Chains A and B, each alone.
Chain A
Amino acid sequence: MNSTTITNAKERIEHIEDILSSVAAGDLDLRIESEFEDDLTGVEQAINLLIDDLTHELKKSLKLKQEMEEKLMKIQEQQKTILQQQEDLMELSSPVSKVWENILILPVIGTLDSQRTQIMMENLLQKIVTTGCTTAILDITGVPTVDTQVANHLLKTVTAARLLGAECIVSGISPAIAQTIVHLGINLSNILTKATLQDAMIYALRKNEQLINGKVVLNQIDTDEPK
């Protein structure tokens, strides 16, 4: 037998070309079918092995890609949760409550960044409007650092509350923070301050008493009038 004889050479090479272009187009299930045993068979088998390897590698990288995408999604979800938690915390940490007739308390805890301060201020002003309270105590015992920005926000909140007819008392300024504010040079003398929350409460209750007494007088005048 002549070793250079290749049976049906033209058709088989065309078949190889077909398979290769299909593989290139992404169809990895195809293989070269060799019905003859001659010099071209080795090439055909080698190409089939190559396609096998390629299929294997591709599957591996697809799996890797999928894993990466899943991980990415997980991270994105976690990030969302963290953001959500941060927001929750923000709302949680500015609870305004009516503790007594006419008196609101806002305990401020943690760090006052501009976003939180904004939410805090809105909550407080809203509550002043809905409850009609005329005294609001802002307790800053839980605020570790009072810098110019925090002081500025406090001043703005107090001024806005005043416009709505409520008086704010800021309590819980520690001696260290008091000294620091003085050195910073900020003038907080327009704000009514009390050392502790308790002092602020006592002040607010006294004021309440006077208000109630005042109301009694007003009511008497009211009932007297129709006569």
Chain B
Amino acid sequence: MIELVSDPGWELLEELNIETEFDIVKARQSVRQYAKDAGMGIVDQTRITTAVSELFRNMYMYAGGGVVRIQKGMYEGHPALVITCMDNGPGIDDITLAMQDGYTSGQGMGYGLPGAKRLVDDFVLQSEPGQGTSVRVAKWK
């Protein structure tokens, strides 16, 4: 698993495992609630929830699951919600390709990763073949 280092100032809100589709639903509901608690409006709540939904689904589909860390804290000078998804899956060979609109290695639409990136304020992806994939997204008001 590729560890994305946390800022020591961030507060850990919750850590969850994604193993089943039901876990995706639960994790998504958690994120929506934290977004609401952070004072985000309905549009921002929907954006961050949809973005993480894409990441959770990818972990579930391509890596057989993974870990989700929900944190809050200052991110590039903004009070933000930070969600990190880490898996132990096969990793992504060609990240540039995976980030392209419409590219899918399976039966998807190929909009999950690039779409998620457009829905958040910051998006970090690290992946190595054989070492898994880690994605961090941050959203502020």
Q: Do A and B come from one complex?
A: yes
What's the dominant secondary structure at chain B's contact region? Answer: helix
Tell me the count of chain A residues lying within 8 A, CB to CB, of chain B: 22
Q: Check A185–B101 contact: CB distance below 8 A.
A: yes
Q: Which of A18-35 contact B (CB under 8 A)?
A: none
What's the nearest-Cβ distance from chain B to residue A117, in Å?
Answer: 11
Q: Check B108–A184 contact: CB distance below 8 A.
A: no
Q: Interface digits, B90-132 against A, CB 8 Å rule (1 contact, 0 not)?
A: 0000000000010000001101101110110000000000000
Q: Across the interface, which residues of B come within 8 angstroms of A177, CB to CB?
A: 46
What's the nearest-Cβ distance from chain B to residue A211, in Å?
Answer: 33
Q: Across the interface, which residues of A come within 8 angstroms of B47, CB to CB?
A: 176, 179-180, 183
Q: Does B42 contact A (CB under 8 A)?
A: yes
Q: Across the interface, which residues of A come within 8 angstroms of B25, CB to CB?
A: 111, 113
Q: Does A97 contact B (CB under 8 A)?
A: no
Per the bound structure, the CA–CA distance linking A184 and B116 in Å amounts to 7
Q: Across the interface, which residues of B come within 8 angstroms of A146, CB to CB?
A: 50
Q: Check B115–A113 contact: CB distance below 8 A.
A: no
| Among B28, B43, B118, contact of A184 (Cβ-Cβ < 8 Å) | B118
Q: Check A184–B111 contact: CB distance below 8 A.
A: yes
| Among A113, A115, A144, contact of B32 (Cβ-Cβ < 8 Å) | A144
Q: Which of A123-175 contact B (CB under 8 A)?
A: 144-149, 151-152, 174-175
Q: Does A186 contact B (CB under 8 A)?
A: yes
Given A148-B109, A179-B43, A185:B118 Cβ within 8 A: yes
Per the bound structure, the CA–CA distance linking A4 and B69 in Å amounts to 78
What's the dominant secondary structure at chain A's contact region? Answer: helix
Q: Does B3 contact A (CB under 8 A)?
A: no
Interface centre among A146, A152, A175, A184 (most CB of B within 10 A): A184
Q: Does B53 contact A (CB under 8 A)?
A: yes
Q: Does B14 contact A (CB under 8 A)?
A: no
Q: Check B42–A148 contact: CB distance below 8 A.
A: no
Q: Check B54–A148 contact: CB distance below 8 A.
A: yes
Given A114-B21, A152-B109, A147:B43 Cβ within 8 A: no
Residues of chain A having any CB pair with chain B under 8 Å: 111, 113-115, 144-149, 151-152, 174-177, 179-180, 183-186
Residues of chain B having any CB pair with chain A under 8 Å: 21-22, 24-25, 28, 32, 42-43, 45-47, 49-50, 53-54, 57, 101, 108-109, 111-112, 114-116, 118-119
Complex A-B: 22 CB contacts under 8 Å: A111-B25, A113-B24, A145-B28, A145-B46, A145-B49, A145-B50, A145-B53, A147-B57, A148-B108, A149-B108, A175-B43, A176-B42, A176-B45, A176-B46, A180-B50, A183-B115, A183-B118, A183-B119, A184-B115, A184-B118, A185-B101, A185-B114
What 8 pairs between A and B have smallest CB-CB spacing?
A184-B115, A176-B46, A147-B53, A113-B21, A176-B43, A183-B118, A176-B42, A148-B111
